[in-house]
Amino acid sequence: MGTNPLLAADRLPEFSAIKPEHIEPALTYRLNANRECIETLLTDVESRGADFTTAILPLEELGDQLGRVWGPIGHLHGVMNSPELRKAYNDCLPALSRYQTEIAQDTRLWRLYQKVAETLPDDAATSPAASVVNHALRDFHLAGVDLPAAQKQQFKTLVEELTQLGARFEQNVLDSMAAWSAHVTDPAQLAGLPAWVIEQAALNAGESSLDGWLFRLDQPTYVAILTYGEYRNLRWRFYRAWTTRASDQADDAQGDNENVDNTATIERILELRHAVAGLIGFKNFAAYSLATKMADSVAEVLGFLTGLAEKSHLTASEELAELECFAGASLEAWDIAFWSEKLREERYSVSDEQLRPYLPLDRVLAGLFKVMTRLYGLTAQQVDDIDVWHDDVSYIELTQPDGVIVGGFYMDLFARPDKRSGAWMDGCINRKDFAGHFAQPVAQLVCNFAPVSEATPSLLTHNDVLTLFHEFGHTLHHLLTRVDYPSVSGINGVAWDAVELPSQFMENFAWEPEVLQMISGHYETGESLPDELRDKLQASRTFHAGLQMLRQLELAIFDLRLHAEYDPQVGGNINALLGEIRQQVAVIKQPDFNRFANSFSHIFAGGYAAGYYSYKWAEVLAADTWAAFEESGIFTTDIAERFRCEILEIGGTRQISDAFKAFRGRTPQIEPLLAQSGIANETP
């Protein structure tokens, strides 16, 4: 096994050397080795006694070793998908799920953690060690460790199938997108589209030996066509393709609908999640999900969401009425982005296409790193001799003023056909420092920006900039941790409804005049964003904030109610439930063919099931945090150091409510978010 690159766990992954044939042997080896080590450990502690150092830290190391094998596999599955890699990945999911549940249901390990918990001193209740133990004890219960044998096996079977279904869901979305394209031969249909979109479509057509232009269904192209395409039928075609991905409504161009339709997959996921929750003693999966979150109950979360929707509804209704008045007609869903951009441009005399030349990627990155330096004293340096998975990928190290490297991260920023859409940050390596085991944290920052063209470098929209700042906030959260135990370092162990705090907080800097000067420079002249354009951009910040707020609340309420109200006798009743929520919350009418849920990967293939509300919940924390920075000065060293110490460095070792109070001096308030959204004075 020595030649298997996945087993070189003492250094950065050798991504370019990892082949599909390495995956199953490496995982099998690691799982078997872990099992043997656990049996040896249990025998040793039985004869010698157990404490945190002798019993728990070896288990921390075994968990980290497994992550060093499976992490690169899962990452490549998201960014370099191929039929061979996908098969190897899917073939391994049952074994991995079986092992994870087996460990989580091992009563010997459970009792071991209980014994160690009794040895921890009372004054260590909030220590990293206590956090490791307490999180594990909670997770043992949530995995059914105290269930009878037959129910344990049932839980294991359910979770194993859920793991496979989540992967199938995401792969169906990817396949549906990859199979669809729009071939255009009439130049009139290109009216309004940015030059980079047209250029890429021409290249696509040439590669396929076609005349004209071939548009693919990737996120940058979809957003550009919906926002700028003057030819309404092209907007409709893209809107329909995007909102029917992996559904029964997808057109024939998206492949074999029966094979990629996620409808049955969703129903089975909901059925199994409900069964899992019931086995552990929860009324529904939403309640089960909240057991690891900051919020206390489904009722509390639903009250928060509906209250925010009531406060936002009037603003959103007025925004839509104004937009339709401006357009001179009632608008369909595929018209909103186009006319919104037209109105924004007229009102503020600013558009994304005006801003894009001033936001070349290299200048934005340089400015982003300057912001980091001003806040935390860190510097960023690209390292060129690091093995990567694609030529587009770079590796950056962060260094303290004393020269100590705190960690590094990979950047993979451009859209590709074999890469899932969206943007995310994953941990590649967790920080650890104990018993001779040391590792600096490493992250993977992934986006889907428009690639470099023959005529221009990669030019970003301001929304792209916000996305980059957001994901970099997650990256800093992972890299700046001071916790030495992997299971609670970085973002690990952080309540899911608070994990978006550092990322959403970071977005605020991209609106500041001083920062806009740092991140902008015309790709041809180097000129920073003119004051006039900068002022207009800032003035547009709350433009259609009510509509944007309601869209996120619609999805969050749908996710929560879908899991809280599921009845196995009736099924998910997905489209009816979503229609009901839209009737209550939304102001933009969606067409009957819309099947958004079939590509809602956050909740069906990601970690946000019954937790999509986390974005809004954490946004309250982030806006209140930003208000503290505004009060002191956004680059004031003391406030940045306090944020780093109380929030970014603590990992999962502290309740986020306590951490926020230590930072802010009080509990979070919703008013800063309402003010930031321009709806502070609205009453229901």
Q: What is the pLDDT of residues 132-184, one digit of tens each?
A: 999 999 999 999 999 999 999 999 999 999 999 999 999 999 999 999 999 99
Domains 5-104+106-142 and 356-539+615-676 share a fold: no
Residue 201, pLDDT above cutoff 90: yes
Residue 46, judged by CB atoms within 10 A of its CB (0-12, 13-18, 19+), counts as exposed
Tokens 């369909």, located at residue? 332
Question: Domain residue spans in the chain?
Answer: 5-104+106-142, 180-257, 356-539+615-676
- Is residue 471 part of the annotated active site? The answer reads yes
What pLDDT is stored for residue 256 in this prediction? Answer: 54
Amino acid symbol at 515 = V
What pLDDT is stored for residue 413 in this prediction? Answer: 97
Is residue 224 very low, low, confident or very high in pLDDT (cuts 50, 70, 90)?
very high
H or E element in which residue 380 lies: strand 379-382
CA–CA separation, 447 and 429 (whole Å) = 19
Which of 375, 594, 382 has the alpha carbon at shortest distance from 473? Answer: 375
Is residue 682 very low, low, confident or very high in pLDDT (cuts 50, 70, 90)?
very low
Quote the distance between the C-alpha of residue 573 and its chain's center.
Answer: 26
Strand 442-449 to 405-414 pairing = parallel
Beta-bridged to residue 396, according to DSSP, are 382, 409
The alpha-helical segments, DSSP class H, found in 328-431 are 333-348, 352-355, 361-376
| 451 secondary structure, DSSP code | P
Tokens of 327: 């357009």
Beta-bridged to residue 414, according to DSSP, are 449
Tokens of 39: 């049996």
CA–CA separation, 303 and 132 (whole Å) = 32
Beta-bridged to residue 571, according to DSSP, are 567
What pLDDT is stored for residue 683 in this prediction? Answer: 45
Model confidence pLDDT, tens digit, residues 66-120: 999 999 999 999 999 999 999 999 999 999 999 999 999 999 999 999 999 998 8
Domain 356-539+615-676 has what CATH class?
Answer: mainly alpha
CATH number of 5-104+106-142: 1.20.1050.40
Residues with Cβ within 8 Å of residue 485, at least 6 apart in sequence: 57, 60, 128, 129, 131, 132, 432, 434
Tokens of 522: 């015309």
CA–CA separation, 449 and 415 (whole Å) = 6
Strand 437-439 to 394-399 pairing = unpaired
Catalytic position from the list 170, 319, 397, 471:
471
CA–CA separation, 106 and 356 (whole Å) = 55
Interior angle at CA 377, CA 374 and CA 382, nearest 5: 100
